[in-house]
Structure 1
Amino acid sequence: MLTAKLDCCDLCEYCAHSPYLVCVEHPQRVEEDSCSGFRLATKAIAIPNDSLAWYGEEWQPEGASYYDGELILDPVQRLTLEQRLEMLDVHPLFTSRCPNCEMPVPKATEGQIHWDCGHCGWADDSV
């Protein structure tokens, strides 16, 4: 099998890094599936310490995400699909109304995690 270049050619000390030549030992093409003259070029391999520079993006496992450079595990979903849909229908965050007495609840402020109704005393204890 005649190949112009093998996958490992760019890591070889003899690589010409040219579109016209493959390497010093095989100027035109490699005639086998592997190269008998391969010699690892230690200067050519530069492995950065920063994973962002190496992969182009920060690697993150499934179920986690990076926020401000810190790996944060995603919260475990404790609610079923039905419970989540019900929350969309009744929670003041989405309805702006108390689920108990239907009175308007003030609009949410940034970072608000607790909800109370001033009219009937309903309190959100989900957190």
Structure 2
Amino acid sequence: MKLDCCNRCKFYSRSPHLVCTLHPAGVEGDICPDFELDLTIPDDEAVAWYGEQWQPEGASYYGDDLVLEPVQQMTLEQRLDLLDSHPLFTGRCSNCEMPLRQTEPPRVHWDCEYCGWVDDSV
């Protein structure tokens, strides 16, 4: 018996006469013990074979994992300004322009030791 997941398996024969190379006539039961996801199948073919995966608004699939997109509360202009001014991207304090030293492990907070500016973006 051919299962729904057979079309996505790397052992699938893609033949009208055989199900797969390991189980030519199919498997007995609802689960194939040898199923391995074929990562070489392009996404558009996978949708055609396997059926489109449901996803809520504001989320998308990364491989087989559903990933929620972060809620953006800033406008495009605010985000561009952040790229131009935040020490994470510039290496300098947003207030006094003094260079901020890199740390190991990398910083999470970019507070300035010189002028007291506090990074409240995290």
For 1:120, the equivalent position in structure 2 comes to 115
Residue 69 of structure 1 and its aligned partner are, at CA, apart by 5.3
Which of the residues 78, 83, 96 maps onto 1:101? 96
RMSD value over aligned CA atoms?
Answer: 3.5
Partners of 2:103 and 2:64 in 1: CA distance: 28
Identify, as 1 or 2, the structure richer in helix: 2
| Percent of aligned pairs sharing the same letter | 54
Q: Residue 78 of structure 2: which of 83, 90, 94 is its match?
A: 83
Name the amino acid aligned to 2:94.
P
| TM value normalised by structure 2 | 0.51
> Which residue in 2 is equivalent to 1:46?
3
Cα 1:108–1:74 shift into 2, 3 Å? farther
**Whose radius of gyration is greater, 1 or 2?**
1
Structure 1's 80 and 108: CA in aligned 2 closer, same or farther, altered over 3 A? Answer: farther
How many residue pairs match? The answer is: 83
Q: Which amino acid aligns with 1:121?
A: G
TM, length-normalised to structure 1 = 0.49
Quick check: 1:72 aligned with 2:48? no
The structure showing larger relative contact order (alpha-carbon pairs under 8 Å, at least 6 residues apart) is: 2
